[in-house]
Amino acid sequence: MQIAFIGLGNMGGPMAINLHKAGHSVRAFDLSQPACDKVAEAGVAVAATAHAAVQGAEVVVTMLPASQHVEGLFLGAGQLLAQLPKGTLVIDSSTIAAATSSKVAEAAQAQGVDFIDAPVSGGTGGAIAGTLTFMVGAEAAALERARPLLEKMGSNIFHAGSVGAGQTAKICNNMLLGILMAGTSEAIALGVANGLDPKVLSEIMRRSSGGNWALEKYNPFPGVQENVPSSKGYAGGFGTDLMLKDLGLAQENAMAVKAATPLGGLARNLYASHSLAGHGALDFSSIIASVQKKG
């Protein structure tokens, strides 16, 4: 199958490579030359522009930073949607506002193009291993068209509902992720301030009622787990500014539907302060630095 893949960051790059490894003909594009070079080294064909990438493509996969990038690519200056022939399938795995997904999907439908929102969870490790979780907003028929490709990039595919539902599920998940990472960081920092070994304390909590994903797979304290951002100077992974964006989307949505999300709002403020302190490019687990005892 001929696939165009646009957006080759920490998540998109490995996803494109996995589609290539599965035997699909992938033509990729990103504004970042180093990102293009990385997938090219894995054998993925790279196009000079997004418009060139989609030439002859049956499926277009996008993994972009924010709502404005998706809308700009398809409906704004990029006008990519107008170039796609009827019957094309667009899989957008960006994490954006549900309203933006619905807007682009409506325009796509008018043109005879299937558009689904399929944001992911699982981090860069999941993207590389092909074990991502997809939260899909789509009509059932469009999801079934996409499923064979999603299965090459992920191990869990959930049909959340109609277009936009995938984005809603994703912001709910990431709001909880931000909250639990902040709470886990506080608990570990408190124990360490009292002289506890962070590895021992983490294992105690992991096997007790405080157990959670951060303790299982993404410990925020350096040296507790190997091959996680905290043990690599908080490099790579899921950036603080990306978490801040997602927490902002959750708060915007909560205001729109008049939902109460007090912990989500607090988490957003914590990550905003952490970003303002100069840590926006570090992995979001670096939030532990804001609660660690100094000296």
Instruction: Give the alpha-carbon dihedral of 152, 157, 162, 165, to 10 degrees.
Output: -110
Shared domain for 236 and 283, answered yes or no, is yes
Structurally, the chain folds into a number of domains equal to 2
Q: Is residue 295 part of a domain?
A: no
Contact 8, 35 (CB under 8 A): yes
Shared domain for 20 and 151, answered yes or no, is yes
Shared domain for 46 and 187, answered yes or no, is no
Distance between CA atoms of residues 110 and 103, nearest Å: 11
Q: What is the pLDDT of residues 209-243, one digit of tens each?
A: 999 999 999 999 999 999 999 999 999 889 999 99
Among residues 162, 193, 220, the one where a domain terminates is 162
Question: Residue 278: which CATH number?
Answer: 1.10.1040.10
Mean pLDDT of the residues in the chain: 96
Q: What is the pLDDT of residues 24-59, one digit of tens each?
A: 999 999 999 999 999 999 999 999 999 999 999 999
Distance between CA atoms of residues 295 and 290, nearest Å: 13
Known active-site residue 170: yes
Residue from 21, 170, 217, 245 carrying the catalytic annotation: 170
Contact 6, 30 (CB under 8 A): yes
pLDDT of residue 295: 66
Question: Residue 18: which CATH number?
Answer: 3.40.50.720
The residue range of the domain holding 150 is 2-162
